[in-house]
Amino acid sequence: MPRQTGRQWDVVVAGGGHAGIEAALAAAKMGARTLLVTLDPEAIGRMSCNPAIGGLAKGHLVREIDALGGEMGLAADRNGIQFKTLNTRKGRAVWSPRAQIDKRTYAADVSAVVRHQQNLTIDTGEVTGLRTDGGAVTGVTLKSGAVIPCRTAILTCGTFVNGLIHIGNKQFKAGRLGERRSEGITESLRALGLRAGRLKTGTPPRLHRDSIDWSQTALALGDEQPVPFSFRTPLPFEPANEPCHLTYTSAAGHEIIAENLHLSPMYTGVIEGVGPRYCPSIEDKVVRFADRDRHQLFLEPEWHDAHQIYVNGFSTSLPEEVQLAALRESSGLAEVRFIRPGYAIEYDYFLPNQLQATLESKDIAGLFLAGQMNGTSGYEEAAAQGLMAGINAGAAVNGMQPLVLGRDEAYIGVMIDDLITKSTLEPYRMFTSRAEYRLLLRPDNADLRLSQKGIDYGLLGSGDLERLERRRGEIGHIKATVQQLRVSLPDSGDERIPAAQLLKRPEILLADLLPEAGESGAVYAAANLFTAETDMKYAGYIERQTRQAEALKRLESTAIDPGFDVSTVTAMRPEAREKIAAIRPETLGQASRISGVNPPDIALLSIHLQRWYVSRETFS
């Protein structure tokens, strides 16, 4: 008979990775009595794969996590060793911050934050199942047999759920190399009716720094004027700028890989799970891009002055000797030695269309899932989901309204909406192209969009509110100054042109115009100048996207009651009825984004739904 332990917790979080950290901190900050259960407390915050945070679209997520009061951005700023803004040759909506991170200090830093958080307790253990009563969570079961009573549970077990590592024809059970996997969760959730699948991901080899001929590689430094992730990081921001290096695979290396594809588990059918399309293994690259004779590789230090180098771009499950032979055909790597080889890991996940927009199960009240358990890849996607699950679990126990972010409010909203309305049959990765309202969702304005929500839910404090109000005020002042300003150009005679009109020209910056108003840009915060300038340069496009977002809010605000039977809409195409019945969208907006559901289907659904609501009111 399982042993019941102690008091009832408000929130139990299973897993101490990036999702679990944000979930536990958010719930605890909201006053919920929170327990974080982890296989190894020493592994809290560990960066199991690449030594970086942010990147294309991922940097947007980190900024939004920070704007809501999450920890990832602050920790990245404290432990970054190189900062860079990517995509600056394109429009400002898709500029994305990225940082190389000292993996050792990052994990220690985040672990300390967790340990010192009020209302948050850490326990060593393995959550293997749930206890429920009447379709609601009442507790979690540990491998030891103990039952921990709780009102809500957040599962963030990542790749540890039935994890299986592959290196060539060698297989072994693990959550990541050197750490045991978690077992029992899948079986427990399946018994409660949840549907599970299998995915895979990979990691590249780690190289001895002293075995690399750095003279044959290209230097890759960060920005000279780096920008922090967090709106709360003190200025001036002067982090380290440690170098990465660039090299390439070769045709000879590709030939070695091609000759040994039969030894790669993903090509022999040994691995059941589906891999990430947008972060392919080197085997995938050689096969899918057979016309290319080289692929870019970044050699990245894993911590300050690291002897261990991460080979970004060479994820693989090939045998160790094949990995080594192929890499030695790359410039600078002729005598390279491994600290550890690359490997693939497959693991269980749960189809996220079984979740509400709050990340709570549609069938089991109080059960939240976040991170790679929902089919995503990446630290940033996991942390964003963990934060939202933690906020909504905290809201549930505090009797507050849940927090759901729309597609026009945040990349986080785009990601969660994609997960719950679309079939996730491969690891989901965030991209700027997934967001319809990119100009509204820039990294520079994340706090203006979201920080008030972080304040409302108790994740940010009075100091953050003051900072936000000062920033709004200064941006407003800059815009008002420019709107009133008229400027004469050298070739325009006596004609004076509105400064706001001139600012729409790509080559004109606020720094060029403010002196005409007797002001210097130097008196304003650089971040405020940038946001004001961007808002004004893209004003017409921003206004258009705002109108489009407003037009769609009617669909988003029309709820689909769980009691409504879509099979009664007989005029709707069978495919649309089946998909809506399977996914059970919460609003017409969600239904409209289900693959295979078309506008005429939504029109029919809307009419029948309105009639159904009227009939309920008539007979109530």
What does the alpha-carbon distance between residue 16 and residue 19 come to, in Å, rounded to a whole number? 7
- Three-state DSSP at 144 gives coil
Over residues 470-481, the pLDDT tens digits come to 999 999 999 999
Pick from 416, 362, 423, 409: which is nearest to 387 by CA? 416
Which whole number is the average pLDDT over 36-49? 94
Rounded distance between C-alpha atoms, residue 266 and residue 318, angstroms? 9
Of 121-130, 277-286, 395-404, the least confident:
277-286
Three-state secondary structure call for residue 423:
coil
Q: How many residues does the chain have?
A: 620
pLDDT level of residue 456 (50, 70, 90 thresholds): very high
Residue with tokens 């890499």: 327
- Rounded to whole angstroms, how far apart are CA atoms 230 and 227? 9
Average pLDDT over every residue of 299-304: 97
Which tens digits make up the pLDDT trace of 489-524? Answer: 766 666 788 999 999 998 999 988 888 888 877 778
Residues 397-413, mean pLDDT to the nearest whole number: 97
- This prediction's pTM: 0.94
- Model pLDDT for residues 181-239, shown as the tens digit of each residue: 888 899 999 999 999 999 988 899 999 999 999 999 999 999 999 999 999 999 999 99
* CB of 129 closer than 8 Å to CB of 141: yes
Residues 139-164 have pLDDT tens digits of: 999 999 999 999 999 999 988 888 88
Q: In what order do the strands lie in the sheet with 218-220?
A: 218-220, 244-248, 296-301, 308-312, 206-208, 338-340
* Average pLDDT score, the chain: 92
- Give residue-wise pLDDT tens across range 326-349: 999 999 999 999 999 999 889 999
Per-residue pLDDT at 516: 83
Give the model's confidence band at 530: pLDDT under 50 very low, under 70 low, under 90 confident, else very high: very high
What pLDDT sits at residue 1? 35
493 C-beta neighbours (distance < 10 Å), count: 8
Q: 534-551: per-residue pLDDT in tens?
A: 999 999 999 999 998 888
Q: Pick 569 or 176 by higher pLDDT.
A: 569
- Beta-ladder partners of 498: 486
Does the N-terminal peptide bond of residue 236 adopt cis geometry, omega within 30 degrees of 0? yes
Mean local confidence (pLDDT), 275-290: 78
Q: Is residue 1 classed exposed, middle or buried when 0-12, 13-18 and 19+ CB atoms within 10 A define those classes?
A: exposed
Report, as an integer, the average pLDDT of 162-182: 83
Confidence of residue 2 (pLDDT cuts 50, 70, 90): very low
Residue 617 has pLDDT above 80, yes or no: no
Whether residue 82 contacts residue 242, with contact meaning beta carbons closer than 8 Å, is answered with yes
Q: Tens digit of pLDDT for each residue in 559-571?
A: 999 999 999 999 8
122-157 residues labelled b (16+ CB within 10 A) or e (exposed): beebbbbbbbbeeeebbbbbbeeebbbbbbbbbbbb
In 3-state terms the chain splits into helix, strand, coil percentages (rounded to 5) of 40, 20, 35
> Which DSSP symbol is given to 586?
S
The whole-angstrom separation of Cα 29 and Cα 394 is 9
Chain-centroid distance of CA 82 in Å reads 20
Instruction: Give residue-wise pLDDT tens across range 55-114.
Output: 999 999 999 999 999 999 999 999 999 999 999 999 999 999 999 999 999 999 999 999
In this prediction, residue 273 carries a pLDDT of 57
